[in-house]
C-alpha cells in the first residue's frame, strides 16, 4: 500500500469522526503527515465523494464531512436540524456589495443601493458577517468594511474566490481598481 493510500484512509476516518471542520494544519499536526500530503488526500476525498450522499466540503479553509444538500428533505425526517439564518433582501444586497467590492466604504454601498445602509451595516456587524478592515485614505477617513470568516461559513464558501459568477463582476472590480480580494480577508 502506498503512503497516499494509507494517509487517505486515515484522513477519511478523521473527517468522519470530527464534528467540527478541520484545517489542513489541524490534520497535519494530528497525523504527522506533511501539509502537502494532507492537501492532496483531501482533494482526492472531495472528488471521491462528489457523487455520494455524503460530501467532503471545504468551508473557510477547513474541511468537513456533511450530508449533501440534495438529500436534506429525507434526512431531516431523521432529526431536527437547525435552519440556517435567513437574511432579508436588504441584508443580502448589502452583504453582496461588501463581498465583491471589499474593502468598501459605507458611502460606496449607499451609492449602489441608493438608500441609507446604517441599520443594515450595524446588523451585519452584529451578526459578525462583516468587519471593519481599516479606514480609507479619503476625506473624513471613512471606515472600510469587508466580510469575515463567519460569512464564508454561513455561505459555505471555501474562499471569496468561490463567490458566484466572478466574470459577471469583472467590470465592478476594474472600476475601483482594487488589489487581490483575498488579502483583505480577516477574521
Partner 1 sequence: MSKNRVRILGMYSVKLEIFEGPLDLLLHLVDKNKLDITEISLTKICGEYEDYLTKIRDLNLEVESSFITVFASLLEIKSKLLLPVVPIEKEEEKPPSEHELVLQLKEYKKFKELAVEIGKKAKEHALCHPRPDCTRDEQEEIIFASQLNAQDLMNYYVAALRRMNRRESGEDVMEMPREELSFPLIFKIIQKKIKIRGSAWLHELFDTPPDRVRFVVTFLVILEMARRRKIILMQNPGEFEINIVKRSQVRQDYDVDLAG
Chain residues binding partner 1 by CB under 8 A are 16-21, 55, 57, 59, 64-69, 72, 75, 79, 81, 83-85, 87, 89-90, 92-93, 95-97, 99-100, 111-116, 154-157, 163-165, 168-169, 172
Q: Which is nearer to partner 1, 19 or 32 (CB)?
A: 19
Terminal CA-to-CA distance of the chain, rounded, Å?
40
User: Residues 136, 144: contact at Cβ < 8 Å?
Assistant: yes
Q: Which is nearer to partner 1, 65 or 131 (CB)?
A: 65
Q: Which is nearer to partner 1, 24 or 117 (CB)?
A: 117
Four-residue CA torsion sign, 18, 163, 181, 112: negative
Distance in Å, CB of 95 to partner 1, minimum: 7
Distance in Å, CB of 53 to partner 1, minimum: 11
With left for phi above 0 and alpha for psi between -120 and 50, is residue 61 left, alpha or beta? left
C-alpha 146/C-alpha 30 separation (Å) is: 32
Q: Which is nearer to partner 1, 132 or 172 (CB)?
A: 172
Q: Which residues of 37-54 are buried (b: 16+ CB within 10 A; e: fewer)?
A: bbebbbebbeeebeeeee
Q: Which is nearer to partner 1, 2 or 51 (CB)?
A: 51
Q: Which residues of 115-132 are buried (b: 16+ CB within 10 A; e: fewer)?
A: eebeebbebbeebebbbe
Distance in Å, CB of 47 to partner 1, minimum: 17
Distance in Å, CB of 5 to partner 1, minimum: 24
Distance in Å, CB of 121 to partner 1, minimum: 15
Amino acid at each position: 500500500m502506498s503512503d497516499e493510500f494509507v494517509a487517505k484512509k486515515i484522513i477519511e476516518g478523521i473527517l468522519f469522526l470530527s464534528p467540527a471542520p478541520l484545517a489542513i494544519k489541524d490534520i497535519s499536526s494530528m497525523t504527522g503527515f506533511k501539509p502537502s500530503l494532507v492537501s492532496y488526500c483531501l482533494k482526492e476525498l472531495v472528488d471521491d465523494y462528489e457523487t455520494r450522499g455524503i460530501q467532503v466540503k471545504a468551508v473557510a479553509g477547513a474541511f468537513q464531512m456533511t450530508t449533501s444538500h440534495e438529500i436534506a428533505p429525507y434526512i431531516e425526517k431523521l432529526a431536527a436540524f437547525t435552519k440556517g439564518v435567513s437574511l432579508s433582501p436588504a441584508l443580502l444586497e448589502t452583504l453582496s456589495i461588501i463581498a465583491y467590492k471589499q474593502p468598501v466604504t459605507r458611502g460606496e454601498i449607499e451609492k449602489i443601493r441608493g438608500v441609507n445602509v446604517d441599520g443594515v451595516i450595524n446588523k451585519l456587524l452584529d451578526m459578525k458577517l462583516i468587519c471593519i478592515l481599516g479606514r480609507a485614505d479619503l476625506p473624513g477617513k471613512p471606515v472600510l468594511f469587508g466580510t469575515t470568516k463567519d460569512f464564508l461559513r454561513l455561505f459555505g464558501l471555501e474562499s471569496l474566490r468561490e463567490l458566484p459568477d466572478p466574470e459577471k463582476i469583472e467590470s465592478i472590480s476594474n472600476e475601483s481598481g482594487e488589489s487581490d480580494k483575498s488579502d483583505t480577508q480577516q477574521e
